[in-house]
Chain A
Amino acid sequence: MIFSTRGHGGTNGQPTRQGFGGNDTVQSDFRYDLEWARHAEVSESFQDTAAARPAAGSAIAAQMTTKKRSATFRDSGPGKRGEMRGAFSHIYGRFFARGLLEWHFGVENLLPITGPNPMSTRIGVTTSMSQERQATCPTGLERTR
């Protein structure tokens, strides 16, 4: 797997965080551990929807190639048509990204964000739309992707 970090050290002018790969680093032999994605799959499935729970932890294992190349899907990948393929790739993309953040970068307690709501009484996430864009947006909230 080719792994690239394009980091700027998190905040302006500060040194790059240690162990985060450095600025603009490319590793062509990065071994993404599929266990990261499997753990992330379980966490993500359990946190996001009860419907996904029976399948938690099994989808990644079933779809990955048997060859020793990390992050490569077997055959032509999950899904046959464009729409299904796109949907599957979004789901697996979340698992892989979450796995990287949790296991490689040490980010903890990842909570899914579904909209511009307060997460609790202590913390919340809002869109930072300009006033011009807010004026033209009927709901006042940016469409979530």
Chain B
Amino acid sequence: MPDWLGTHAVEYVLGEAKDSYKGSAKSWLTMTPPHKCVEASLEQINNCQLVDSTGTVITSDRWAVANLWATDENKRPPVMIAWDPPGDGHKFPRISGRSMKGNALTVSRLHVAGFWAVGSHPATKWRG
């Protein structure tokens, strides 16, 4: 599962964060093959689907963000890679503007509710 679901304009966005202390900046910027950490984030972000209330798969943007940490001690430059992998295009339907407005409002309400809920986020407590 990715880390977050968010909204951007008229699209849903799935986001995933990964990070590592190990490796050189050079190995991180070489994408053939990608660094293990970057590859894991891509695998995770691609291994899920967004569905609406009827169970229909809908299109979403995806962002995998991977960090290579730098410290005073190791003196290497920090690296941050933001990757939006090839999407599913128009294979799955986009939801209409009106529905998206309602859905974005729902996500927004859950987002705000999360700040006031005691314990974990209300969205994570749903049991169907």
A97/B29 in contact, CB under 8 A: no
Query: Number of residues in A with C-beta < 8 Å to the partner?
Result: 77
B89/A13 in contact, CB under 8 A: yes
B83/A46 in contact, CB under 8 A: no
Query: Number of residues in B with C-beta < 8 Å to the partner?
Result: 77
Interface residue ranges of B17-42 to A (CB < 8 Å)? 17-21, 25, 28-29, 31, 40
Residues in B whose Cβ lies below 8 Å from that of A3: 79-82
Given known contacts A49-B120, A107-B15, A116 and B72 CB-to-CB distance under 8 angstroms: no
CA distance A117 to B120 in the complex (A): 14
B108/A89 in contact, CB under 8 A: no
CA distance A78 to B8 in the complex (A): 33
Given known contacts A73-B70, A96-B80, A101-B6, A11 and B118 CB-to-CB distance under 8 angstroms: no
A123/B50 in contact, CB under 8 A: yes
The answer to whether the Cβ of B86 comes within 8 Å of any Cβ in the partner chain is: yes
Give the contacting residue for A74; candidates B63, B72, B111, B128; CB below 8 A. B72
A129/B47 in contact, CB under 8 A: yes
Residues in B whose Cβ lies below 8 Å from that of A71: 67, 69-70, 78, 80
Residues in B whose Cβ lies below 8 Å from that of A137: none
The residue of chain B having its C-beta at the shortest distance from the C-beta of A95 within the complex is: B17
Residues on A lying within 8 angstroms of B by beta carbon are 1-14, 20-21, 26, 28, 30, 32, 43, 46-50, 65, 67, 69-77, 85-86, 89-90, 92-94, 96-98, 100-101, 105-129, 142, 144-145
Residues on B lying within 8 angstroms of A by beta carbon are 1-8, 11-21, 25, 28-29, 31, 40, 44, 46-53, 59, 61, 63, 65, 67, 69-74, 77-90, 102-104, 106-108, 110-111, 114-115, 118-121, 123-124, 126-128
